[in-house]
Amino acid sequence: MRVVASVWEELPAQNRRWLIVNALVATMAINVIVNAALAWLGVQGQDSVSMWGVPLVETSIFWNLVGTLFLLPLLTCVLTTGVIRRDVRRGALPPLDRLRSTQRWLVALPPSRWRRGVALGALLTAVLAPPLVLVLVASGSPELSLDRFVVYQTIFAVLLGIVVTPPIALFAMADPDPATLRDDPAR
């Protein structure tokens, strides 16, 4: 908690506003729409959603959870980093490259938004999947109705987005020089 307070105190007002408006409020709205739609489309033709299933053959609670743990941070990183770099280049958002010297954790991940997203997705999947699987097993629920699955998946994705988007945004705001990363789509 001290790290969060320390970083928050160092942020200019524009960056704080960006984090609240975009990394929290807008991300929540986007995740509700996108994840509800994906969950609903993913279960079409099924009567219910089982706990376990064959990946990419049928939607299951387990594989949907693992996929969300990996893909949501990856895609959030790619999109959020692109938007922040654009805003920094346009002068709409001040860069936070000076934070890299006081908040060493901001240099822990690669500067490429794709590599950073893969690293974050892999890390979150490795750390959060085991305890979440234990919760699933302990729940003893072998399947969910389609409506329940869509609601649970949407809530899970929104909560995960709330957790991952602000740090992803801070990583992007603290990039060394967004202008040098502009023309390379892989960065």
- What would the two tokens of residue 55 be? 């990946």
45 Rama sector, left if φ>0, alpha if ψ -120 to 50, beta otherwise: left
The pLDDT value recorded for residue 174 is: 86
Residue 29's pLDDT band, with cuts at 50, 70 and 90, is: very high
* Dihedral (CA of 43, 44, 47, 52) sign: negative
Q: What is the pLDDT of residues 79-112, one digit of tens each?
A: 999 999 999 999 999 888 777 666 666 677 888 8
Residue whose entry in the numeric block shows the structure tokens 């975009």: 22
Structural domain spans, the chain? 16-181
Q: What is the pLDDT of residues 128-167, one digit of tens each?
A: 999 998 988 888 767 888 888 899 999 999 999 999 999 9
Nearest one of 160, 163, 166, 157 to 18, comparing CA atoms: 166
pTM for the full predicted model: 0.86
